[in-house]
Chains A and B, each alone.
Chain A
Amino acid sequence: EAQVTQNPRYLITVTGKKLTVTCSQNMNHEYMSWYRQDPGLGLRQIYYSMNVEVTDKGDVPEGYKVSRKEKRNFPLILESPSPNQTSLYFCASSSTWGRVPYGYTFGSGTRLTVV
């Protein structure tokens, strides 16, 4: 089954404790992206990657890191989480058309709470 797998689904952590949210896709998509979803703000892009070793900032990259060492994996790293990073996070992947994601497949989401 074609899918994007995120882990964990739920995470509660303390301020400053480094964490990684994993994301893996099995569709051989070149384009992968991380979003955060907050009430009233919709989805905001954190980082995206056009291919292996190619990553770029989205609208809200501060406090986040990503890496793309393999095509299928795109982990999101919070080096020193803060309470304002409490949010619902989605990983998504897509084939591309003219370098634009042609139609995302989304993961199920990670609900992160930073206390």
Chain B
Amino acid sequence: AQSVTQPDIHITVSEGASLELRCNYSYGATPYLFWYVQSPGQGLQLLLKYFSGDTLVQGIKGFEAEFKRSQSSFNLRKPSVHWSDAAEYFCAVGASTTGNQFYFGTGTSLTVIP
């Protein structure tokens, strides 16, 4: 069965520190991978996506993610976190071989300490 795992339920970092949020997937086919962010009381916003090509993808708000097929991972990174980055982050995966379904991880909540 297809699945997306975000091992960290909650992460706390200091403002200005680097950030890495983990995402692992289990998929039989080549996956399409996404990161979304949800600010409190808001809907989700797309940060970045990987469909093909360069395995290091750049997104909005200074985020990047790297697809590592050998590790089945798509970790999200940011070199210097800002207080406004505090939010819930969701990794997601889709593939046309799954009957066009689309799966989200359970999310990682990020707290930023001043």
Contact = CB atoms under 8 A, between A and B. Distances in A.
Interface residues of A, number: 28
A40 B49 contact: no
B43 A103 contact: no
Interface in B26-63: 32, 34, 36, 42-46, 49, 51
A43 B32 contact: no
| From B49, B90, B105, residue with most partner A Cβ within 10 Å | B49
A14 to B, nearest CB: 25
A25 B38 CA distance: 20
A104 interface: yes
A106 B94 CA distance: 17
The contact size tier of chain B is 20 to 34
A13 interface: no
A106 B34 contact: no
Given A90-B44, A106-B45, A108-B43, A100 B32 contact: yes
Interface in B69-105: 90, 94-96, 99-105
Contacts of B94: 100-101
B105 A59 contact: no
A104 B96 contact: no
A45 B104 CA distance: 9
Interface of B: 32, 34, 36, 42-46, 49, 51, 90, 94-96, 99-107
